[in-house]
Structure 1
Amino acid sequence: MKKGLATVAQLSEFDEFIDARSPAEFAEDRIPGAVSCPVLDNEQRAIVGTIYKQQSAFEARRIGAAMVAENIARHLRERFQDKPKNWRPLVYCWRGGQRSGSFVTWLRLIGWDACQLEGGYKSWRHLVVDELAVLPGRFDFRVICGATGSGKTRVLEALGRLGAQVLDLEQLAAHKGSVLGALPDRPQPTQKSFETDLYGVLRTFDPARPVYVEAESRKIGRIQVPEVLMARMRESHCVAIEATREARLDFLVRDYAYLGDDVSDLQNKIDYLQGLQSNETLANWKALAAQHELYTLFAEFIDKHYDPLYQRSQNRNFVRFPQAPIFASSNLSDAGIAELADCILREQQ
């Protein structure tokens, strides 16, 4: 390692990661655990970039340097006054350039063994993309299949509590996967942030043990499942949950109860099905939403939308689905789901 410079392979050698990029860049994605200490905020970065394009590189550096110095001084005063002499921070910007370089210069002048990440965030991003192209192929996935309302995500969570290795893509994507799947209290992450978190989970798995994952389409909300992972899932062994219609309806009404809190939002989601359902059907569903008739509404969803879609997709998308062991259930309460997970785990071992 060159003095004051480190690679992504050396991340574990540092006490803290400092992201010197703008808040907007940090919000899109960052190295897990990094703290945001921008040397230029969003507005300042735009100002310096405009001066660079419209006037000159020298003028941009002259104006930008004062901003950078002021921001670094504030971070030193507010964030790092309590750090011991042996503290080792790693600083990065977009590609390992002047923003992180100036920050490292001041940290090293103080006496800390600070380093700049070679290649910056781009080197981290390349690592994530490269690893996501190979990691899925190392694992024996067991794909949990079942019609909408079968409690697949809850079964996955119960399997995790029993000690199984679980990849919960919907948790990472902050979305339940269906047209109604947006969460009321969690926005979806960016695609890059999702992939960083996915890499962080995959790298913890033991290839000698199976990994349980829920059957998903290529997109979960607006998040795209990486193609290599999708292909690996679709060729993997499947586990089929067959719950009764009554159990599924009871589960959906409980699991999606929050949809009744915002009728207009629910009606907007129903409009997403234009072209897939008749205008008359959509109008009826929106009327049921307005009347808070969730049980009747979900029954219609199951019979006219979700079940026909499921019957068309499973055999086509998951090649081993026809050979999947079937686990029947008429009880998708918490206790029933725990029992279902226990049965799956015992059968699969």
Structure 2
Amino acid sequence: MRLDAVNAASGRFDDIIDVRAPLEYAEDHLPGAINLPVLNDEERAQVGTIYKQISPFDARKIGAALVAANVARHIAGPLKDRAGGWQPLVYCWRGGQRSGAMATILGQVGWRVARVEGGYKSWRAIVVRRVQELGFPSPVIVLDGNTGSAKTAILSRLAARGHQVIDLEGLANHRGSLFGARGAQPSQKAFEGRLAAALEGLDSNRPVLVEAESSRIGNLSVPRAVWQGICRGRRLTLNVPVTARAAYSARDYSDISHDPAEVQRILQRLAPLHPAARIEEWLRLADHGDWISLAEGLMRHHYDPRYDKHRARYDAQGAAPIWLDDLNDLDIAADKVEAALARPVTG
């Protein structure tokens, strides 16, 4: 059975199997897919070289032997406990020979196998259209606020209360600031795939809350249609004293205190943007572990001026202010955001 990518992604399968080589899978794959390659990276390169330099026939013959051996290992290994009623979905790059070989062998075992028509390539086309052209299917409400306003944490609480939320920083695995790295980020394609899946899951009759972001989150770009939706969205702005934001950031980014050398490297990268004396002061604060003072200095002289300049482009749309004295109880902060959401839009 062959399914188009839309039906494949929304279907009910026991496993989604990506039979492409590991490097292809690592760059991006269908949500929830496992990798059972019929050719590994080296074998795929070997077959490709034979195809170009010797003949297509020799490439297919050697490729068939490698594919058969690899599929046999998968059946005897990862798939050995699958029962007779197991129903997998299989795909490769274009829905061609690699997924065809896997589907044929699994089908001969007696399993009911489906293939993605057009393979990963067709899925990628759907993703690109969603994030680059269609964007949000729901009205967008943007939670704004200067660095350290606990926007991500407040949105998390609102999501737990049943509001529709898309956590762009979570999808990008980055907190969206100089010190925001949380380990390896996904590839741009993988980020867009995650985002497309989140967008498809929205109820178009209800608004969706997102955090105000720049057009880049770490090393990743926010896709065009999504970025445009954020720029046009109704805005709620958290207004929090800088001292409260600094204290919150020192707690929220406590992990960076375990890598002082990395903090020093990041601060040094700011040297072209600030006076030397200011950089030296920040380095001194980091060296002494005075994270609250460092956070406050960065907010006053680096983050806040840049936020204000960026935000000036959207002030004409009218942002509803939400005033918070501190960030000690984020449930109270979430209550205030909910109250702002309930107020009618004016103007």
Question: Does the TM-score normalized on the shorter chain lie above 0.5?
Answer: yes
Give 1:229's aligned residue: 226
CA distance in 2, matches of 1:180, 1:289: 13
CA distance in 1, matches of 2:94, 2:132: 22
Letter matched to residue 252 of structure 1: S
Letter matched to residue 190 of structure 1: S
Letter matched to residue 324 of structure 1: A
Give 1:272's aligned residue: 269
How many residue pairs align between the two structures?
A: 340
Cα deviation per residue 1:245-293 (whole Å; 9 max; x = unaligned)? 2211110110111111101111111233242223443233223222222
CA distance in 1, matches of 2:135, 2:294: 38
* Residue 342, structure 1, aligned to residue 329, structure 2: no
Cα deviation per residue 1:47-67 (whole Å; 9 max; x = unaligned)? 222222332222222222221
Go from structure 1 to structure 2 and tell me whether the alpha carbon gap of 1:114 and 1:318 turns closer, same or farther (over 3 Å shift): farther
CA distance in 1, matches of 2:187, 2:17: 20
Go from structure 1 to structure 2 and tell me whether the alpha carbon gap of 1:318 and 1:51 turns closer, same or farther (over 3 Å shift): farther
CA distance in 1, matches of 2:118, 2:268: 45
CA distance in 1, matches of 2:38, 2:70: 5
Contact 1:175–1:220 under 8 Å retained in 2: yes
* Cα distance, 1:6 vs structure 2: 2.2
Contact 2:36–2:74 under 8 Å retained in 1: yes
* Cα distance, 1:318 vs structure 2: 6.0
Cα deviation per residue 1:113-143 (whole Å; 9 max; x = unaligned)? 2132221110111111122245434311111
CA distance in 2, matches of 1:210, 1:131: 17
SS in 1 for 2:261: helix
Question: How do 1:1-349 residues align onto structure 2 when only pairs under 5 Å count?
Answer: 4-11=1-8, 12-133=11-132, 135-183=134-182, 186-317=183-314, 319-320=316-317, 323-333=318-328, 335=329, 337-349=330-342
Structure 1 stretch displaced more, 103-112 or 141-150? 103-112
Go from structure 1 to structure 2 and tell me whether the alpha carbon gap of 1:270 and 1:220 turns closer, same or farther (over 3 Å shift): same
SS in 2 for 1:239: strand
Give 2:345's aligned residue: none
Contact 2:246–2:293 under 8 Å retained in 1: no
Contact 2:137–2:199 under 8 Å retained in 1: no
Go from structure 1 to structure 2 and tell me whether the alpha carbon gap of 1:51 and 1:279 turns closer, same or farther (over 3 Å shift): farther
CA distance in 2, matches of 1:60, 1:283: 62
CA distance in 2, matches of 1:122, 1:264: 42
CA RMSD of aligned residues (A): 1.7
SS in 2 for 1:182: coil
TM-score, L = length of structure 2: 0.93
Go from structure 1 to structure 2 and tell me whether the alpha carbon gap of 1:347 and 1:18 turns closer, same or farther (over 3 Å shift): same
CA distance in 2, matches of 1:73, 1:319: 63
Structure 1 stretch displaced more, 79-88 or 93-102? 79-88
* Cα distance, 1:238 vs structure 2: 0.4
CA distance in 2, matches of 1:35, 1:257: 34
CA distance in 2, matches of 1:202, 1:231: 14
Letter matched to residue 24 of structure 1: L
SS in 1 for 2:312: helix
Letter matched to residue 174 of structure 1: N
Letter matched to residue 219 of structure 1: R
Cα deviation per residue 1:136-195 (whole Å; 9 max; x = unaligned)? 343111111111111111111121122211111011111111111112xx3211111111
> Any runs of at least 4 consecutive aligned residues in structure 1 with deviations exceeding 6 A, and if so which?
none
What stretches of structure 2 of length at least 5 have no aligned partner?
Answer: 343-347
Go from structure 1 to structure 2 and tell me whether the alpha carbon gap of 1:77 and 1:292 turns closer, same or farther (over 3 Å shift): same
Letter matched to residue 333 of structure 2: L
* Cα distance, 1:16 vs structure 2: 2.2
Go from structure 1 to structure 2 and tell me whether the alpha carbon gap of 1:21 and 1:255 turns closer, same or farther (over 3 Å shift): same
CA distance in 2, matches of 1:265, 1:209: 42
Contact 2:131–2:224 under 8 Å retained in 1: no
Contact 1:135–1:203 under 8 Å retained in 2: no
SS in 2 for 1:275: helix
CA distance in 2, matches of 1:271, 1:50: 46
Letter matched to residue 92 of structure 1: Y
**Identical columns (%):** 40
Structure 1 stretch displaced more, 223-232 or 197-206? 197-206
* Cα distance, 1:317 vs structure 2: 4.6
CA distance in 2, matches of 1:97, 1:203: 27
